[in-house]
Amino acid sequence: MITTVVIGGSFAGMTAALEIKRKGKELHKVILIDKSPVFLFIPSLIWVPLGRREIKDISFKKDAILKKKGVDFVLAEALHVDPQSQIVYTDKGEFTYDNLVIATGPKVKYDVAPGVEEYTHYIGNPNGAMKTRKALEEFKRSPGPIVIGATQNAGCMGAAYEFLFNIEKWLREQKIRKKVDLYWITPEDYLGHFGIDGMPMGEAMLKSFMKMFNIHYRTQVGVEEAREDGVVLSSGEVIPSKFTMLMPPFIGVDFVTNSPDLRPTPTGYVPVGDDYRHIDYSNIWAAGIAVNVPLPFTPGKVPFSSPKTGYPSDETGKIVAENIIRVAKGEAKLKKKAWGRIPGLCVMDAGKKEVLLLSTSLFRPRTFAIMLPNIFYDINKVLLEKYFLWKTKRGLSYLP
């Protein structure tokens, strides 16, 4: 029997584990190690601070479905790996593997600038989303300027854009919009770059949104310092703020950086080829955010990163699973698809409106790319959430 250990149980890890077991059946033993007992649909966290979703609405315990599908689940924190002895060390013991899949997701670099951790809010995890909800309730009683955006080296601009437009709508619903100067700050070279070198008509569309909603914006700026009463930009400008939400950069998790034999990049990601196999170890693979994704373009005067979203994470989990099965069968030809060649499929919420981003590949060159606004209702975002939770709860990892 071939034993595969999967580290991480979010989009990429769940998909890889379920697909390896589904395709490998009794010949493959799959162990998924994760420090969280629940699966969380992270894209919907933007709605939690505003009360449109509760955490329980977008999460579920994963042990039952994994057991039903034949995957062993270990609730533990993976500490490091020794590729020579093929042992993963955790706070619950040691695990020997034939194949290792690293799908550990990100760590948030809050110390990107002074004051970011102390004085700004972050909506990318349940704790941060709930703290943001509490802060907004206090903000209603004494409104003032708001700053929303991303810091230098950030890659998750899309979620920050979504939160911006949802906040604008929330301010109108609370009947305090006229009391609030709303600012958007971003390291992007232009509005709608998204870390993917933009989409056709994207900049023009977002400029029109900013004008329509009376949102002030600054591009090509970083954060020098976050303060209790404002944000100091790399341009020297100081923007006053009574509420600030920023997306900091993502970096690799401690499991990777504490495993020097993996040769992680300076930002803590795993170096792999287009088949998601480690460049040095033929039995180590990476999927999802853990994958190192070099930028195919040069950012402007302020650095930023590429986005690592749920759809590419899910796809890389499937590719890794397929390749592990092929290797076990003695096949030499592996499936290859670089992160930047995975199709772009994203639904950006814009405050109960939405924008569909569709392209033949995430990075240029693309044979087709389009941004479609839906000004009536964010039905596709809601449907995507319901569909993904439905298929994941049932372990239907092979579905798109």
Domains of the chain, by residue range, sit at 2-107+250-340, 110-249
Q: What percent of the chain clears pLDDT 90, i.e. is strictly above it?
A: 96
- For range 188-203, the mean pLDDT: 95
**Considering the chain, what is the average pLDDT of its residues?**
97
pLDDT at 184 over 90: yes
Model confidence over 330-367: pLDDT tens digits? 999 999 999 999 999 999 999 989 999 999 999 999 99
**pLDDT number for residue 214:** 98
Model confidence over 131-183: pLDDT tens digits? 999 999 999 999 999 999 999 999 999 999 999 999 999 999 999 999 999 99
Instruction: Determine the CATH number of domain 2-107+250-340.
Output: 3.50.50.60
- For range 60-74, the mean pLDDT: 98
Answer whether 2-107+250-340 and 110-249 agree in fold.
Answer: yes
pLDDT at 48 over 90: yes
Query: Which residue in the block uniquely carries the two structure tokens 């002074």?
Result: 114
**pLDDT number for residue 377:** 85
Regarding predicted confidence, which is higher, 89 or 300? 89
Say how far apart CA 215 and CA 177 lie, in whole Å.
11
**pLDDT number for residue 385:** 97
**pLDDT number for residue 325:** 98
The topology under which CATH files domain 110-249 is: FAD/NAD(P)-binding domain (3.50.50)
Contact predicate 186/219, CB 8 Å: yes
Q: Identity (one letter) of the amino acid at 63?
A: D
**pLDDT number for residue 160:** 98
**pLDDT number for residue 9:** 98
**pLDDT number for residue 163:** 98
Say how far apart CA 183 and CA 99 lie, in whole Å.
47
Model confidence over 247-270: pLDDT tens digits? 999 999 999 999 999 999 999 999
- For range 24-32, the mean pLDDT: 98
**pLDDT number for residue 352:** 85
**pLDDT number for residue 121:** 98
Sign of CA dihedral 374, 378, 381, 387: negative
- For range 54-67, the mean pLDDT: 98
**pLDDT number for residue 297:** 87
